[in-house]
């Protein structure tokens, strides 16, 4: 793991090495595989990747999923720079979910605004069941009533980058996770 990275003139220090991320994803995938054991192609759940942040997590998770599943993606955003705006913007139309179980695959849940908006949208489109799967959770700031079914790791309420997470579109390609060093 590199000691530091610099993005847009700001310094980030190591927080979570890739090996710890991979181990957490292994454990999470075991839980999901157990919960969906026995599903068939006819009732295959949809794994819905929230773009762009969850792409790497979704790819790693899919390598470990052992049941039939359908993969879709949705683009929602609420961040500008290092802060959440509190307003969730949807840039995607999601089709073909009527009567299906959906596993929303998130990179990080902090305020829960995106999860809340996504769940509401999916049920309005006819989803039978919505489960939330996140790589990272900031429990200090998550105050929503929506249950998070699958959480790989909990982290402090700090701004992070790497493993799909970005700072104004940079830093997603780091295999480790870094925290803003201020």
Torsion sign (Cα): 91, 80, 164, 35: negative
Q: Which residues, in sequence order, are bridge partners of residue 73?
A: 49
pLDDT of residue 76: 75
Would you say the pTM of this structure is higher than 0.75?
yes
pLDDT over 80 at 24, yes or no: yes
The residues, any chain, with a CB within 8 Å of residue 8's CB and separated by 6 or more, are 167, 168, 170
Q: What percent of the chain has pLDDT over 90?
A: 82
Q: DSSP states of 123-136 as a string?
A: HHTT-SEEEEEEEE
Q: Is 110 a catalytic residue?
A: yes
Catalytic residue among 110, 129, 149, 166: 110
Q: Kindly list the structural domains of the chain, giving each domain's residue range(s) and its CATH number in brackets, ordered by start.
A: 18-32+43-76+97-156 (3.40.50.2020)
Strands 83-90 vs 177-180: parallel, antiparallel or unpaired:
unpaired
**Chain centroid to CA 88:** 15
Tell me the per-residue pLDDT of 55-112, one tens digit each, with 9 for 90 and over.
999 999 999 999 999 999 998 766 565 566 666 666 677 889 999 999 999 999 999 9
């Amino acid at each position: 793991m590199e000691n530091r990275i610099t993005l847009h003139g700001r310094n980030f220090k190591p927080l979570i090495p890739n090996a710890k991320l991979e181990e957490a994803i292994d454990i999470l995938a075991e839980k999901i595989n157990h919960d969906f054991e026995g599903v068939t192609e006819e009732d295959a759940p949809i794994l819905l990747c929230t773009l762009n942040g969850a792409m790497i997590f979704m790819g790693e998770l899919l390598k470990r999923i052992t049941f039939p599943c359908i993969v879709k993606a949705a683009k929602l955003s609420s961040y500008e720079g290092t802060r959440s705006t509190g307003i969730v913007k949807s840039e995607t139309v999601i089709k073909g979910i009527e009567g299906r179980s959906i596993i929303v695959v998130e990179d990080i849940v902090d305020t829960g605004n995106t999860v809340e908006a996504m769940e509401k949208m999916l049920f309005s489109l006819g989803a039978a069941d919505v489960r939330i799967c996140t790589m990272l959770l900031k429990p200090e700031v998550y105050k929503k009533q929506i249950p998070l079914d699958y959480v790989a790791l909990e982290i402090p309420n700090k701004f992070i980058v790497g493993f799909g997470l970005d700072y104004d579109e940079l830093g997603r390609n780091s295999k480790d996770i870094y925290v803003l060093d201020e």
